[in-house]
Structures are given as C-alpha cells and as structure tokens.
Amino acid sequence: MSNPTPVEPGHAAAVEKDAVESIVHLMPLVLPLAGGVLMLLLASIAVYLA
C-alpha cells in the first residue's frame, strides 16, 4: 500500500494538458516548415523518378 496517489483525481490529465499547451504556440512555425520540407522531398522524388 505504498502506491503514491495524486492529490487531485485529474492531476495526470492536468499535467498532460500543460505539456500540450507549452508546444501549441510553436505550431504556426513548425507546420509550414514541415510542409515545405515535405514538398521538397516529394518534388525531388518525382524528379528522380521522371
């Protein structure tokens, strides 16, 4: 019976929500960069196969 129990029932969910909220502000930068990299990769594959 030495299992530690959180003080609040939703404590783990609150920690996960905070972790997600800490990265959300980077999405306007990360999504266009990832899209650009993906387009360059797909274009290079298309040129290589043509």
Tokens of 50: 């043509």
Question: pTM for the full model?
Answer: 0.55
Question: Is 32:39 a contact under the CB 8 Å cutoff?
Answer: no
Question: Is 17:23 a contact under the CB 8 Å cutoff?
Answer: no
pLDDT digits (tens, 9 = 90+) for 3-47: 665 566 666 655 556 778 888 899 999 999 999 999 999 999 999
Note the pLDDT of residue 13.
57
Note the pLDDT of residue 22.
84
Question: Is 14:8 a contact under the CB 8 Å cutoff?
Answer: yes
Note the pLDDT of residue 10.
61
Note the pLDDT of residue 30.
93
